[in-house]
Copies of this chain bind each other. A is one copy, B any other.
């Protein structure tokens, strides 16, 4: 039994079914989950056209072919296509092909290996995979409850119209991505972040470059200020009051202040856990003391990324199937690969200087310009960007990498393989990037 048909649930179900197990998956919203309909996929649909156009404009000879600006209606139409007009019909054949039983309804744990859904209790033969996902965290800010139509990621990503103005609360990934998307689609965005800077968990240089870019797009950024009160006028305009006395007003308010595990109503009290809290798991994604129960994806709060949920699903499914692939390699959890799809993009894997320091590692910091090589004459030309590697001075391997720049999301996997593979620098120097590609950034390690 798999509770939740988001990416983690689907991958686990698919992998188990392909190995011959009888699998049922329960979903009370849309098969495909938050990622497919309200997060990664629609947000990229809103961001990518601007990015592609920006890159084209940096290419003389092609730039002259552009005489217009983004077609907002076409962007939204393509986004609707990406989310299949909020229908999960397209996801069902994948389940059917694998003989997975789909049960539509809300599932709760109701005993050992028991799940109750639609008033029926079902006993799993082998195991229950709990993957309810996460939802937006709604902070207790004075007046927020009274706002009619405050947005979370679930509203912003599937918005049918671009508001004239918007206040975004929260400068994490959702906040910066949606700020850029809406600003470049014609909205005046004000972005508020309580911490000193945007993307507070990433390297300072990445934050600086992104902040500068967002400002150039016209986003008004206010950091180091916390919202104290929210008010809505009769015409619907929302005003956020901040702790320094300043205010920000917009037609829409987007709350992007973090995520909470969706465990209020999935029966985790049956195994002695507190509803509303995350579910701790061991390295196999099993809930300690309950060898029949795995918890995957955002619910275990290890790494809130679709790709890591899917990874956990592979580990957990393989474990149930008798294969132990667990590797305590140190590129899991907060060290997981992560990409912010703004322009410039921010991509990172492994340690930042801050987490390396906290982990007691002595690292050498090596930096270069993302486009400051021959390849940069053709791709990401004149776009800002920095690459930074952290080299463990003792072990002579890379333990962290942060990159910024135009269209560098797919550069990250080379770093991920180097870090997770613990490839020594003495070997990496023989891995030669092709000329003239921007991958020549890697030559900096053999300078």
Contacts and interface: CB of A to CB of B under 8 A. Distances in A.
B307 A434 contact: yes
Interface in A315-367: 325, 327, 329, 331-332, 336-339, 347
A305 B434 contact: yes
Interface in A405-447: 407, 409-414, 416-423, 426-440, 442-443, 446
Interface residues of A, number: 89
Contacts of A434: 305, 307, 337-339, 347, 409, 412-413
A72 B64 CA distance: 10
A68 interface: yes
Nearest to A314: B446
A417 B418 contact: yes
A433 B420 contact: no
Interface stretch (A54-62, A126-134, A142-150, A186-194): A54-62
Contacts of A226: none
A262 interface: no
Contacts of A416: 414, 431-433
Given A308-B432, A435-B310, A60 B74 contact: yes
Given A50-B62, A59-B52, A428 B417 contact: yes
A21 interface: no
Given A431-B421, A433-B413, A60 B77 contact: yes
Contact of A40 (B62, B66, B81, B435): B435
Interface string A110-152: 0000000000000000000000000000000000000000000
A1 to B, nearest CB: 24
A346 to B, nearest CB: 11
Given A59-B52, A61-B70, A71-B64, A433 B374 contact: no
A48 interface: yes
A422 B428 CA distance: 10
Contact of A410 (B52, B331, B417, B438): B438
Given A311-B432, A434-B305, A435-B305, A65 B70 contact: yes
B62 A426 contact: no
A383 to B, nearest CB: 13
Contacts of A439: 409-410, 412-413
Contacts of A305: 434-435
A246 interface: no
A68 B64 contact: yes
A435 B65 contact: no
A32 to B, nearest CB: 11
A75 B50 CA distance: 23
A378 interface: yes
A163 to B, nearest CB: 18
B64 A66 contact: no
Contacts of A407: 379, 407
A53 B331 CA distance: 37
A306 interface: yes
Contacts of A437: 339, 409-410, 412-413
Contacts of A30: none
Contact of A442 (B70, B71, B413): B413
Contacts of A66: 56, 65-68
Q: Which 9 A-B pairs have the closest CB atoms?
A: A61-B75, A64-B71, A49-B61, A49-B62, A421-B423, A307-B435, A60-B78, A65-B68, A420-B431
Given A60-B74, A311-B430, 10 more contacts: A48-B59, A49-B60, A61-B74, A306-B435, A331-B430, A412-B433, A417-B421, A420-B427, A420-B430, A421-B428
